[in-house]
Structure formats: C-alpha cells, structure tokens
Amino acid sequence: MGIPTAPIVTIAFKDLAYSNAAQRGMPHERICFTPHPVWGKTDAQMYAYLEGDDPVTHKPLMPEIISALTKPLTPDEEKSGTVTPPIGPTVFSDTPDNLQSYYMNNGMTDFMPIILPTQEKVDAMLKGTSHAPDEPVGKMCPAKGSYPEWSYNVRNIAINAVMAGCDPTYFPIVLAIAASELPSLSSSTNSFATAAIINGPIRDKLNMNYGIGAMGPFAQPNATIGRAWTLLSKNCGSCGQPGQTYMGTFGNTCNYNNLIIPENEKDSPWHPFHVQKGFKKDDNIVSVFVGLDIRQGQNGPGLGVKPVPQYQDAFAFNFGTCAPLFGGLIVCDPLVAQGLVELGYKTKEPLLEWVWQNATISVKDAKTTLFGLRFSGPQAATLPDDARIPIFRKASDVNIVVVGGETNPYHMVANMSYRGSVSIDKWA
C-alpha cells in the first residue's frame, strides 16, 4: 500500500512475529521489540520501555522505530517469499516405535501414544462417510485474521481420527466438528477450552455416555472424538505450537479431550439443545463452544437453605467470577432440571432470562475487571458504582444442557460462548 509500517511486538512473541511475517510473504520484515510484559505496567514503566533498548537487537528502541519507518528497504528486505508447512514423507520405512517418535518429535501428537495411521486404517476410517477423500471440509488457524488459514479435506481429517483412536462410526461427528472450523487450541495467552454438545439418535447408536460420569474417561466415543478435535487442530490448522501458535501461559487439561457433552435427552424435561437452535429432534447435530473453563457449581445460595432447592440462585451465584468476555453454559444433572420444572420453569427460556438478569456484577467491579465495561455496554459507565449490571451482555449468552447419571442433583458452570451448530448427518 506504500505506507511505511514498523510492527512493535513484545519479546515474548518474537518467534511468533517472525514466523507469521514469513508465512505472509515478508520474511525480512522490520520488527521492533519491547520488553515483556506490557499488561499491568504503569505509564512510567512503559515510557522506560520506549526509552530503553530493543531486547533483540540491543539498539535504542525509538531510533530503531524511526529508522524502520524512514530508511529505504535493502535488497534482502525487498525479497518476498512464504514458508510452506512441512508435510513429511509419504512413506515411512522403519519400526512402529520410531514412527511413534517421528510423530511426537514433530509436534503432531498430544504427547500420548497414537494409533499409527496406516493406509489400511485410514481407508477403513474413510468408509465411515459417503464423502470423497479429497472433498474440502474447511479451513482453520489459531486465530482468524492473525494467521494464514490451512485448508483440509476428508482424508486429512480421517488420518487424525485414526491417530486419536476413533472407530469409523464416529467419523461423521469428527467431520462435523472439523467443519465448524473452530480450533480446540487458540493462540491466546489465556488457556482456552472448547466443548461440543452432541444431540440426536447418534448418541445411542454409538453408545455415547450421557449418564454416570458422562464427561469423564468412561466411553470410547466421548474420549476419542474429543481427542481427534485437538489432533486435527494441530495437524490441519497449525495450532498448538508453543511460542508460535500457542501462547497460553498455563495450558489447559481440557485440551487433551476437550469437553464432549452428549445431552441426556431421555431424562431431560425440556427440549434438547439442538431443538432450541431450530433443528428437528431426530437430527444429529454437534454444537460447539469456546471459553475459559468449567467448574463444579453445586454450592451457592439457595441450596440446602430453603425447604426446596433454588437451583437458579446457585447458577447466578456460580457465574459470579466468570469473565464477561465469554458467555455462560450451565451443565446440569436431570435431577436439577426436574427440580427447576417443579419451581415453575417449564421451559429453558424463562430460566435463562432470570439467570442472565441475576448473575450480576457491581459497576465498580466492572470498571476494574478486565473486559468488564467493554462488554457491559456504554450505559453502564453512567451508573453509580454500587449499581449492579449483568455479567453477560445478553440473555442469549447463557445456555443450559442436561447431562449426567442422576446420582445427585449437581450442576457445573462453564465460562463459554456458543459458536454454532453443524449437521452430523451431512457428513455421514
């Protein structure tokens, strides 16, 4: 465009900055670096950064920025080019143990043993769908707009489904998740987690666990479908490379298998989640969420205090420490759902409206909370500090799903936003 630019990046993102520039055709882009971190620093500390040296070149930072903006490009800097992702050898003639090591050492696994994707096993996986191996499925990257997107087809996803230990009958669900284009690993410095709610007759056809221990390691489809999501994100979306495409300061144990939630439709007194979203009850649908975490939520005002448990009070209380950046997802046992019906919530909608209105934060706290006022609307800034406003932006940011084995009326809350639903039947 002819406009001089000088990207300024903190030293923690040096590898990311260089690789991203190279992948976008600018392998010699002039990038200036500051110390890290910049979050939480005072104005004086930030000015000290600017008046100090670039921690990469060790040159004074401000003159370096001015030089980057004003000096003509050198012949090397004028050269363009991209970095092509390595695809590895098409044939590997060595021992199975060494092939396991090859996959692990090249960042293609979750660092647990995989099922080796032999031609025979991949061909068997491809029989789980009527779609052609070379049919495009989608595009993915760690953060849209910040990284080049990688495209993938049915065969690419089949390879990762084999590696994760999926049976071919699970393959349409894995393809539907891949078609959502939501990666299970993002580039944020937050330790994001993802979830998939699965609805429809396919839950029983595959013997998915939506009863006792539904979100634990107690059923092959639940475990391997979730694992496939992480593997395909790494191998088909360039995700999960620490220091380059993954910057989470902690990491998240949910990333191993993600949260796979087949809804307990038979014991729920309400319409299933996918019916709420406009699908038919017999449609097989996967609905994806992204956010920060999930936590036990059986504690809170209204539980064990009143003659009849007031579960909605507990929901609102448990959302109290959630970030407004994302929405709220309630995961409740059928006993809780039935108790809510007895309290008058015959459908989900009035319950979710009530929870949204009563899961609140003070204006004072919103002003000092990261993203607080940004997601609370401009009118919140005009209210007194002791006024209370909803944590989440709108009632539709709060969702609920019924799952569990009715061993106790417990619930969990996830700080997660709904990102969309995809037909599983389309990929059968």
- State the pLDDT confidence band at 378, using cuts at 50, 70 and 90: low
Q: Please give the model's pTM, rounded to 2 decimal places.
A: 0.88
Higher pLDDT, residue 47 or 423: 423
Q: Render pLDDT for 32-42 as a digit per residue (tens, 0 to 9).
A: 999 998 878 88
Q: What's the rounded Cα separation, in Å, for the pair 142 and 240? A: 8
Round the average pLDDT of the chain to a whole number and report it: 91
Domain boundary among 48, 78, 108: 78
DSSP codes of every residue in 382-393: GS-TT-EEESSS
89 lies in some domain: no
108 and 73 inside one domain: no
> Which are the contacts of 266, defined by CB distance < 8 A and separation ≥ 6?
none
Interval 316-332: pLDDT, tens:
999 998 988 899 999 99
Determine, yes or no, domain membership for 85: no
Residues 173 and 69 in one domain: no
Band of residue 306 on the pLDDT scale cut at 50, 70, 90: low
Whether residue 85 has pLDDT greater than 60: no
Residues 27 and 143 in one domain: no
Domain of 423, in residue numbers: 96-427
Q: CA 356, 359, 361: angle at the middle one, nearest 5? A: 125
| 303-325 average pLDDT score | 87
| Rounded-to-integer distance, Cα 153 and Cα 147, Å | 19
> Is there a domain that residue 379 lies in?
yes
324 touches 371 (CB < 8 A): yes
**Within a domain: residue 83?**
no
412, 291 Cβ separation under 8 angstroms: no
Q: Do residue 223 and residue 359 come from a single domain?
A: yes
What is the sign of the dihedral through the CA atoms of 315, 320, 324 and 326?
Answer: negative
* Residue 88 banded pLDDT, cuts 50, 70, 90: low
Asked whether residue 50 falls in the same domain as residue 14, the answer is yes
The reply to whether 303 and 224 lie within a common domain is: yes
Q: Which residue has the higher pLDDT, 29 or 274?
A: 274
| pLDDT at res. 408 | 94
Q: What is the pLDDT of residue 258?
A: 96
- The pLDDT assigned to 18 comes to 81
Q: Structurally, how many domains does the chain consist of? A: 2
Q: Is residue 212 a part of any domain in this protein?
A: yes
> Under DSSP, is residue 210 helix (H, G, I), strand (E, B) or coil?
coil
Neighbours of 375 (CB within 10 A): 18
| Of 31, 46, 78, the domain-final residue | 78
pLDDT class for 150, splitting at 50, 70, 90? very high
